[in-house]
Amino acid sequence: MAEGTDKWWFPLWEFLVHVVVGTVIFVVIAAPAVGLNLLVAYLATLSVGWPIILGLEISEYALFVVDIGLYLVFLARTGWRTIQKL
């Protein structure tokens, strides 16, 4: 082990850093889903055709579901690795 990494708190610190960075990445990827939601609401007021609205809504939900799923997998894997290191 490198110097300083044999401390008992190092895996917890590493976990915290991973959670913060992972959360920032989650928010960055979720932002377009929120943008799509706002766009759909705006386009609906302009009476845009329902196929376009439906396509954008499907894209919005698909992006968000994949983002949240991968975020949960990331948290589970990071948590498991932290437990193994303790």
Which pTM does this prediction carry? 0.80
pLDDT at residue 3, as a whole number? 58
Q: What is the pLDDT of residues 6-16, one digit of tens each?
A: 788 898 999 99
Q: How far apart are CA 70 and CA 82, in angstroms?
A: 18
Percent share of the chain, pLDDT over 70:
93
What's the pLDDT score for residue 26? Answer: 95
CA–CA distance from 44 to each of 30, 59, 60, 62 (Å)?
21, 16, 15, 19
pLDDT at 73: 97
Q: What is the mean pLDDT of the chain?
A: 91
If you average pLDDT over residues 34-39, what whole number do you get? Answer: 95
Q: Encode pLDDT of 39-67 as tens digits.
A: 999 999 999 999 999 999 999 999 999 99
